[in-house]
Chains A and B, each alone.
Chain A
Amino acid sequence: MSNVVDIQHKEQSPPLPTNHETLLEVKDLKTYYPVKGGFFRRTVGHVKAVDGVSFTLKKGETLGLVGESGCGKSTAGRTILKLLKPTGGSIVFNGEDITKIRGGRLRERRKDFQMVFQDPYASLNPMQMVGDIVSEPIKNYYPRKKAKEIKQEVMELLNRVGLPDDAYYKYAHEFSGGQRQRIGIARALALKPKLIIADEPVSALDVSVQSQVLNLLNELQDDFNLTYLFIAHDLSVVKHMSDKIGIMYLGHIVEIADKKSIYEEPLHPYTQALISAVPEPNPKKKKERIVLEGDVPSPENPPSGCPFHTRCPVAVDKCSTIKPELKEVKPGRQVACILVD
């Protein structure tokens, strides 16, 4: 198996034109966190952080995942990268089912999918020099590569993400948030992965810096022929970045469609509310806001039936009993709501 991968790696080197081949397919993914309790620290329940998420991602495409805090976006991202153990469902990456693989084989796969993390402060080891941070993945996979070559490569990478040369010998704490996020991006790029999952890469950044990072990510996508799973809670950012958008609520994807349709014609009541809630920097435009009642329920004991029915302005009785499936209502549009047909 590993031979095949090696060959692929060589073949992949020149940028391939974007085709519509499926890179990632996630089916009914579930990730539960055990809740420990009592004196003997037994598992007394589960936080159903991700509870049945399915989507496919084509090569070169960007899928945006939005949702409120705690709805399971990060969990989903981490599970797909196998940083967490999935409770159920399957993840097929590049034609290979990676749901169950472990150990060395998993490590071998890891170089094809990488992550950019949310917190630019916590995601860089404060005890390492930037050079070491970025070269570590290369050293992990190409232990025989010469130090000089690695250094050369890392320097190029740092330059590519817009960091000065001397950054190599600095430590993370000497950089601003945006620069740190660049370091994190350089680290993710070091192995020339096919897929990058960006978990709220700009939510900790200031608006002015945010645009720098977003632009960088966009440039890199073209340069390196990357596929993104872009996670954010800011709808406008997601819309800017993505081709397709998935709306998450309480561990479920409630609607998934291309960004135009989502923005122009949201079908799920939650999507509608979400979009209407985004304040727009246009004082003249008067928007009709749908203000939702209450907060997101706890994923430890989610409501029965449709998870959104407790806050849904158009909910009917059935909503509390029937759990809606994500189904295709129009070509390329999937919605999980019994009221939408």
Chain B
Amino acid sequence: MAEVINDTSITKIKVQKSLSPWAVARRKFLRNKLAMVSLFFLMTVSILSFLAPYITTADITRVNIGSMSLTPSSEHWFGTDKSGRDVFTRLLYGGRVSLLVGISCTLLIITFGTLIGALAGFFGGIVDALLMRFTDFILNFPLLVFVIVLNAVFFGKLGGVPVLIAVISVLGWGGVARLVRSKILSEKENEYILAAISIGSRPAKVIMKHLLPNVLSTIIVQATLTFAAMIVVESGLSYLGFGVPAETPSWGNMLAASREPDVLQNMPWIWIPPALTLVITILSINFIGEGIKDALNPKSLR
């Protein structure tokens, strides 16, 4: 056990501080090899992607007629695509967009879902009824279908990634809200909430200090799942041509190249890298999620 020595002036005695449940979870997580490897991979991909402009100087939009569809070489690690653009560079930039969309959607969805779910769950009654009706309403729109329809509506008018993120997020938070609500409801049943009220804590404090920390683990796990799902949604939409605008590189857009038969069969270097990166990224996120779930599992806390 890592010992934290506390010698503040108040006590003047050396006290062995216990690990908080979060610290315990962190330690357990750090010991999970699969999760750590996944985390390492994800970090690498993210860092490379977000530093893409500093790593390569190539203009990703420039079409190079002279160097189209080149096989991988020392100059172009993953070859070039049919527009003569370096696949590796595009992979990095694509990761930027795909991860950005994934993260933004996840953040929005989780924030909004948690907010709605927490309010509904904590206050109950009419607030709950109204919010949940609204959530049900949103949940009735099948995500893929409506993102496609909405994209057809908005694209060109506002254009691009922000709209996509907004559309996905607006349609996506319902599940999280429901989950958080039910979790809050069950957590609310615990006597420590009653105890907090009985010792005179205000509702805001009860939510912030007692309820949220205890549902946070659920939310975090849900966030990882959402993150993976959102990356899939983005790439799937882009693959179908309803996602990120074609001129912006994203993993889905890069993969869409495989819809051309010659690329699919004869130029695997154009689509295999994004496909593999995508699959491994999602795998990693899933493993990280599993890891977090295990680490936060209260059964193993004791």
User: Are any A and B Cβ atoms less than 8 Å apart in their complex?
Assistant: yes
Q: Which of B15, B202, B302 contacts A169 (CB 8 A)?
A: B15
B198 touches A147 (CB 8 A): no
Q: Find out whether the CB atom of B214 lies under 8 angstroms from the CB atom of A125.
A: yes
Report how far A78 CA is from B19 CA in the complex, Å. 33
Q: Closest chain B residue to A107 by CB distance?
A: B200
Identify which of residues 140-184 in chain B touch chain A, using a CB-to-CB cut-off of 8 Å.
Answer: none
- A174 at interface (Cβ–Cβ under 8 A)? yes
Q: Does B197 interact with chain A (Cβ within 8 Å)? A: yes
Interface residues in A123-151 by Cβ distance below 8 A to B read: 123-129, 136-137, 140-141, 147-148, 151
Q: How many A-B residue pairs have CB under 8 A?
A: 92
Instruction: Please state if B21 and A81 are interface contacts (CB–CB under 8 Å).
Output: no
Q: Given contacts A165-B13, A169-B6, is CB(A141)–CB(B200) below 8 Å?
A: yes
Total interface residues on A, CB under 8 Å, equals 39
Please tell me if A190 contacts chain B, counting CB pairs below 8 Å: yes
Given contacts A111-B200, A173-B302, is CB(A123)–CB(B195) below 8 Å? yes
Which residue of chain A is the closest to B214 with respect to CB atoms?
A127
B275 part of interface (Cβ distance < 8 Å): no
Partner of A173, one of B190, B200, B301: B301
Residues of A within 8 A of B6 (CB): 169
Bound Cα distance A63, B209 (Å): 34
* Count of chain B residues near A, Cβ 8 A: 33
Please, which residue of chain B has its CB at the minimum distance from the CB of A138? Answer: B199
A27 part of interface (Cβ distance < 8 Å): no
Q: From known contacts A124-B192, A125-B214, A171-B21, infer whether A114 and B15 are also in contact, taking CB-CB under 8 Å.
A: no
Interface residue from A83, A137, A171 paired with B194 (Cβ < 8 Å) = A83
B53 within 8 A of A: no
Task: Report chain B residues within 8 Å CB of A202.
Answer: none
Interface presence of B268 (CB below 8 A): no
CB 8 Å contact bits of A183-194 with B (1 = contact, 0 = none): 010010011000
Q: Of B19, B199, B298, which one neighbours A114 at CB under 8 angstroms?
A: B199
Whether the pair B298, A126 counts as a contact (CB closer than 8 A) is: yes
Task: Give Cα distance in the complex from A119 to B190, angstroms.
Answer: 9
The answer, yes or no, to whether B191 is at the interface (CB within 8 Å) is yes
Does B16 sit within 8 A of A, measured CB to CB? Answer: yes
- Known A107-B200, A173-B302; contact A129-B20, beta-carbon cutoff 8 A: yes
- Residue among A147, A169, A170, A184 having the largest count of chain B Cβ atoms under 10 Å: A169
Nearest chain A residue, comparing its CB with the CB of B20: A171
Q: Does B17 sit within 8 A of A, measured CB to CB? A: yes
The residue of chain B having its C-beta at the shortest distance from the C-beta of A197 within the complex is B198
Give the docked Cα–Cα distance between A118 and B191 (Å). Answer: 8
Whether a CB of chain A sits under 8 angstroms from the CB of B11 is yes
Q: Report chain B residues within 8 Å CB of A171.
A: 18-21
Q: Give the chain B neighbours of A126 by CB distance below 8 A.
A: 21, 214, 298, 301
Residue ID in chain A nearest B132 by CB atoms = A41
Cβ of B37 under 8 Å from chain A:
no
Q: Which residue of B lies closest to A108 (CB)?
A: B200
* B67 CB within 8 Å of chain A: no
CB of A190 within 8 A of CB of B198, answer no
Measured CB to CB, the residues of B under 8 A from A are: 6, 10-11, 13, 15-22, 129, 190-192, 194-202, 205, 209-210, 213-214, 298, 301-302
For the complex of A and B, list the 6 residue pairs with the smallest distance between their C-beta atoms, beginning with the closest: A137-B199, A123-B191, A127-B213, A169-B17, A170-B18, A140-B200
12 A-B interface contacts by CB (under 8 A): A83-B197, A110-B198, A111-B200, A118-B191, A125-B192, A125-B213, A126-B214, A128-B209, A140-B200, A169-B18, A174-B18, A191-B200
